[in-house]
Amino acid sequence: MTDLPGTPAVLDRAEIRRLRRAARYRSWGDSYTLWRRNPITVAGTLIIVFLVLVAAAAPLLATHDPYNQILSDRLLPPSAEYWFGTDNLGRDIYSRIVYGSRLTILIAVLVALISGPIGLLVGVLAGYVGGATDEVLMRLSDIFLAFPKLILAIAFAAALGTGLENMIIAISVANWPGYARLVRAETLAIRNSDYIQAIRVLGASHARIMLRHVTPMCFSTLIVRVSLDMGAIILIAAGLGFLGLGAQPPAPEWGLMVSDGRNYLVDQWWVSTLPGMAILIVVLGFNLLGDGIRDILDPRQRQG
Amino acid sequence: MAAYLIKRLGSLFFTIAGIAVVTFFLSMVIPLDPLAAIAGPQAPEETVERLRVVYGFDQPIHVQFYRYVERLMHGDLGMSFQTNRPVLEDILNFFPATLELATIAMVISVVFGLLLGVLSAVYKNSWIDHLSRVISLVGVSMPVFWLGLLLLLVFYFKLGWLPEPGRLDIMLFEPPRVTGMLLVDSVIAGDWEVFWDALKHAFLPAVVLGLYGLAGIARIARSSMLDVLTQEYIKTARVKGLAEWLVILRHGLRNAMVPTVTMIGLTYGSLLEGAVLTETIFSWPGLGRYLTTAFLTLDLNAIVGGTMLVALLYLIVNLLVDLLYAYLNPRITLASGND
């Protein structure tokens, strides 16, 4: 390859790019094999894909208006007209569960999009700058970690006032410190590696190193962790909704729907149990998927 | 060990100070005017103004914070607007019920968690391993409040095997209060009828809460057991002809317990969270239900005091776990002594 004088650098670069691409394809191929080999991961993926499809096609799938109250049809059992029955206000439970999937995705995604970047920022700053900055930021996250997550989320949800937006903020407040710790540990490991030294010698500024070289390296760890947390986030949101501190009526939020049916548990079991089943299935899906992702990214699995 | 202890206690001080700041901040952002809640909607303007002075709401924030810390130092968490009693007294009243419930739940999670974890490590990739993985995954994915409702529906409403939500049958009298835990107090009083009834009442909520912690313990027990079972000394024990169950219990489990103990401690903390939802469903008169009511009615002092106490409890549990861990694994103490 180096027999053409004057052009080796160009050839090398193309060659490197080709090798890199091949390696990436191989790694994707391995991931796919590992994914397919584990039925649990496949099941999780299918559940989540199904959830996203339902949320996207909600207007097509729903048989009724999720907010429309037909009081003469209240508390009807599941039938051909109302697939999952009706609730205490005569709303179609099936359609409400279908539309509720949108809320569930919205909550999980927004909490991840708020608490993830905050954790990333705090973690990289604390790990890279070190010293007093590190000390202050980590003490701060210690304080938040001193509260059980659900309690902190409930406290902030109550303090900010009930409602979907405030609940999302409250869960994010309880969620970021864990990410900050994780990213900080990752940053500490990266900071002292040779290539960071090399970039610094080349004259890169600290801001550039943090932004372009440390942050991307922390990204994959953080994404795995966030995907593992998705199920827990949804459970906290549903719990808050159930207690009346999260989404407010008439939102078709699943936790709230379980709570609506509490008084009709004995004779109209479907009002509470079916939305709860939806929560269980979706959270299970995220947990199965997260479990699988962790296995796939675990290098020890790759040698086999 | 002493140096490690001092280091941990030092950082504990900062965290406790931080908890005081966060809870104070919490009381500041609550949008509702607490005076309106105390005085009632029809109260004349002068009454509200007088109350404002009485409660110190007319002072600037830093003065309020100073007074807040001063009150905390004296163990004064203020009055609950709902119960009209000191919050601290309320919490001490409600806490034993939570402690009782959490302890039974803890026993359930530890016993079954360890059993599942050890079995699935010993019979790796067998049906029991897969079953235990499914149980763990369903356990962490289950909405606690929903499971509670389902169990109530089946075992109380439909089958009638277990009693209604609550702590004790309304026809029975509580034994003289010693610890506040019915199971303990009834034994002290020698009242077996109450003991049996209280146990039946505690069964369902404890199972629900126990499942909450079981998954984590089973998972950690499995992975640390797998690590231990590949060690050389396990081979040695087998080669010298020790019975397999002795190898697993004495040489395997005992060493696998070190990381498991950490998880057990963390689980105890997380039971405090689970209690909020479980107690609400089972009308269990504990700290969790007290907090939920406080949150829903915006009972300011109860929210602040309750949240703070839960955080302190959580902190103490974590500290004890860390110390136990350091005691079981001396390498940790040495490592932290060096930096």
What ipTM was estimated for this complex? 0.84
Q: How far apart are CA B328 and CA B325, in angstroms?
A: 5
Chain A: nearest CA to B311, how far in angstroms? 5
The answer on B316 and B181 residing in a single domain is yes
The answer on B54 and B103 residing in a single domain is no
B137–A280 C-beta distance less than 8 A: no
**Closest residue by Cα to residue A285 from A30, A58, A53:** A53
pLDDT at A9: 53
The answer on B292 and B158 residing in a single domain is yes
pLDDT at B59: 80
The answer on B57 and B104 residing in a single domain is no
As a whole number of angstroms, the longest Cα–Cα distance in chain B is 87
Strands (E), B183-281: none
Nearest-Cα residue of chain A relative to residue B29: A159
Average pLDDT of span B198-209: 90
CATH code for the domain in which residue B307 is found: 1.10.3720.10
pLDDT at B338: 39
Domain boundary among the residues B45, B73, B101 is at B73
> In this prediction, what percent of chain A has a pLDDT beyond 70?
94
Query: For residues B318 and B214, which has the higher predicted lDDT (pLDDT)?
Result: B214
pLDDT at A128: 92
The answer on B317 and B226 residing in a single domain is yes
pLDDT digits (tens, 9 = 90+) for B37-85: 666 667 777 887 887 777 777 788 888 888 888 888 888 888 887 788 8
Query: Backbone phi, then psi, for A92, in 5-degree steps?
Result: -75, 115
Q: Are B265 and B321 in contact (CB under 8 A)?
A: yes
The confidence band for B333, taking pLDDT boundaries of 50, 70 and 90, is low
pLDDT at B50: 80
Chain A: nearest CA to B189, how far in angstroms? 35
Residue A175 has pLDDT above 90, yes or no: yes
Q: How far apart are CA B215 and CA A219, in angstroms?
A: 28
> If 0-12 CB within 10 Å is exposed, 13-18 middle and 19+ buried, where does residue B301 land?
buried
The confidence band for A125, taking pLDDT boundaries of 50, 70 and 90, is very high
Residue B36 has pLDDT above 80, yes or no: no
The answer on B174 and B323 residing in a single domain is yes
The confidence band for A304, taking pLDDT boundaries of 50, 70 and 90, is very low
Copy the structure tokens of residue A118.
Answer: 């905050």
The helix/strand/coil state of A86 is: strand
The confidence band for A97, taking pLDDT boundaries of 50, 70 and 90, is very high
The answer on B48 and B192 residing in a single domain is no
pLDDT at A299: 62
The answer on B155 and B290 residing in a single domain is yes
B138–A242 C-beta distance less than 8 A: no
B312 in any annotated domain: yes
B85 in any annotated domain: no
B23 in any annotated domain: yes
> In this prediction, what percent of chain B has a pLDDT beyond 70?
93
A266–B295 C-beta distance less than 8 A: no
The confidence band for A48, taking pLDDT boundaries of 50, 70 and 90, is very high
> In this prediction, what percent of chain A has a pLDDT beyond 90?
40
B83 in any annotated domain: no
If you ran DSSP here, which 8-state letter would residue A214 be given?
Answer: I
The answer on B328 and B189 residing in a single domain is yes
The answer on B143 and B35 residing in a single domain is no
Average pLDDT of span B217-227: 87
Average pLDDT of span B197-204: 88
The answer on B59 and B111 residing in a single domain is no
Q: Are B217 and B264 in contact (CB under 8 A)?
A: yes
Average pLDDT of span A97-107: 95
Give contacts of A 129-168 with B, CB under 8 A: 139-140, 142-144, 146-152, 154-161
Query: For residues A219 and A298, which has the higher predicted lDDT (pLDDT)?
Result: A219
B79 in any annotated domain: no
Query: For residues A169 and B295, which has the higher predicted lDDT (pLDDT)?
Result: A169
The answer on B144 and B23 residing in a single domain is no
Which of A141, A154, A181, A266 is the best mutation test for B, with the most CBs of B within 10 A? A154
A258–B145 C-beta distance less than 8 A: yes
Give contacts of A 34-53 with B, CB under 8 A: 40
Domain span at residue B303?
90-336
Query: For residues B14 and A123, which has the higher predicted lDDT (pLDDT)?
Result: A123
* Domains of chain A, first to last: 82-298 (1.10.3720.10)
pLDDT at A122: 95
- Average pLDDT of chain B is 83
Least confident among A32-46, A184-198, A281-295, B41-55 = B41-55
Q: Are A50 and A105 in contact (CB under 8 A)?
A: no
Average pLDDT of span A121-132: 92
B149 in any annotated domain: yes
| Number of domains, chain B | 2
Average pLDDT of span B14-23: 85
What b/e readout covers A1-34, taking b as 16+ CB neighbours within 10 angstroms?
A: eeeeeeeeeeeeeeeeeeeeeeeeeeeeeeeeeb
pLDDT at A301: 57
Least confident among A7-16, A20-29, B45-54, B132-141 = A7-16
Q: How far apart are CA B327 and CA B257, in angstroms?
A: 13
Q: How many CB atoms lie within 10 A of CB A135?
A: 12
B78 in any annotated domain: no
- Average pLDDT of chain A is 87
Is B171 an 8 Å CB contact of chain A? no
B170 in any annotated domain: yes
> What is the signed CA dihedral for B241, B242, B245, B249, rounded to 10 degrees?
-140
